[in-house]
Every structure is written in C-alpha cells, then in structure tokens.
Structure 1
Amino acid sequence: MTTINKAILAIIEAKPEHAADLEALLNSAVALANQEAKTITWYAFKLGDTRFGIFDTFADDEGRQAHLNGDIAKALLGKADEWLTQAPDIMMADTLAVKLA
C-alpha cells in the first residue's frame, strides 16, 4: 500500500445561481481524478446548499503539486469568477494517521 503523507482540503462557496453548476463539475471531476496517477484518494462533498469541499491525498509533495497544476484545478479556477463567491480556501496538510479499509 502507498503511504499517504500529504493532503489538500479545499472549501468552495458557490454563488446560489451556480451551485448546481459547481455540483455537476465536482461530480464529473472524479473521472479526471482517476487519471491522476499520483492522487491516491479524491473526495468531493457538499456541506450545504452552496458550500462544497474537496479532499485529496498524496504520497508526497510532487503528487500534490501535480494535482494543483492539473485539470480539476484548471476547470474549477476557470469558472471561479463566474461561479464562486470568493477564491476557494485551499489548505495543505500533512497526514498524521490514515485508515483506508
């Protein structure tokens, strides 16, 4: 099993009129995450009507940086001005403990 050492937590607030658009983008983005060899886990989730999040994990900084430069970030940031109330709150984390199965 690959060791998970790094993570990203992003909290995203959509404008009410674009919440469904953001939800659809996040639902479809799993296909892009599946193409990222260095992304170990990827979760998109909903925290409320207009508040969403993404949590993903990586073995190292190289994988994390590849993800930050990847297609999901480009798709999301390409719609940020139109769809979001503010820039996503993106937090980098080092994992302490992990249970997968």
Structure 2
Amino acid sequence: MVNVGLQVRLEAKPGKEKELEEFLRAQLPYALGEPATVAWFAVKLNAGTFLIFDAFENESGRQAHIDGAIAAALGEVATQLLAKPPAIEKLTILAAKLPGSGEVPDSLG
C-alpha cells in the first residue's frame, strides 16, 4: 500500500522543452531500478511545464528516492534546462488504485 508521495513541477527554459522531455523519458530505467518506488510518472502538462509524481509505501522509500539517481541527474541539468528551481511537494496519499490491487475493501462494500 502506498502512503506517501512526491510531486515535482518543472518549468523548462524557453527552447529547452524538448530536451527536458527527453531527459524525463530517460529517467524511467532509474525509477524501475528503485524497489521502494511503487509508482513513478513523468507527465507533460503543457508545452513547457512538466510534472514528476512518485508514490512510496513509507518515508524511508521516499527518502531513498530523493537521495537517488533521478534527483542527482536533475540537479546536474537543472541550470541548463529549467527556468526556475523545481517545485517539490511531499504528499500524503489517502487512497490509491494500483495494478494488482483490484480487491474492494470491506468498508466499500
């Protein structure tokens, strides 16, 4: 079950939108290699705005991700690709539907 998450909003510098999109796509293998990262999404909101959403079972999993390869890589390219620093929000997940979690809890009928 997931209990915590991260939301990271990224604004590309003008002319760097494609590079930021390619950078995010290239991070998927790293997310797949993080056993504590239950869900990871890189999303394009509009031409220059992107979002990363991650979900974890607990705080230690979230911290491992924050200390991991994706965050390090983002730190290395941030000044080149981003118009402003990433907006990072720690989230508490109230409910989630994930693959393999198709059972309906007793409380829902």
TM-score interval, normalised by the smaller of the two chains = over 0.9
Q: Please report the TM-score for the alignment, with normalisation by the length of structure 1.
A: 0.95
- Structure 1 segments, 4+ long, off by >6 Å, are none
Q: Which runs of 5+ in 1 are unaligned?
A: none
Q: CA deviation at 1:18?
A: 1.2
Aligned-residue CA RMSD (Å): 0.8
Q: Summarize deviations over 1:20-75 as a string: whole Å, max 9, x none.
A: 11100111111100000100000000011110000000000000000001111111
Q: Output the CA distance in 2 between the equivalents of 1:83 and 1:98.
A: 32
CA radius of gyration, larger in: 2
Amino acid in the other structure paired with 2:21 = E
Q: In structure 1, how many angstroms separate the alpha carbons of the residues matched to 2:43 and 2:76?
A: 20
Match of 2:42 among 41, 44, 57: 44
Q: Percent identity?
A: 38
Letter aligned with residue 47 of structure 1: L
Q: 1:79 aligns with which of 58, 77, 82?
A: 77
Q: Secondary structure at the match of 2:41?
A: strand
SS across alignment from 1:16: coil
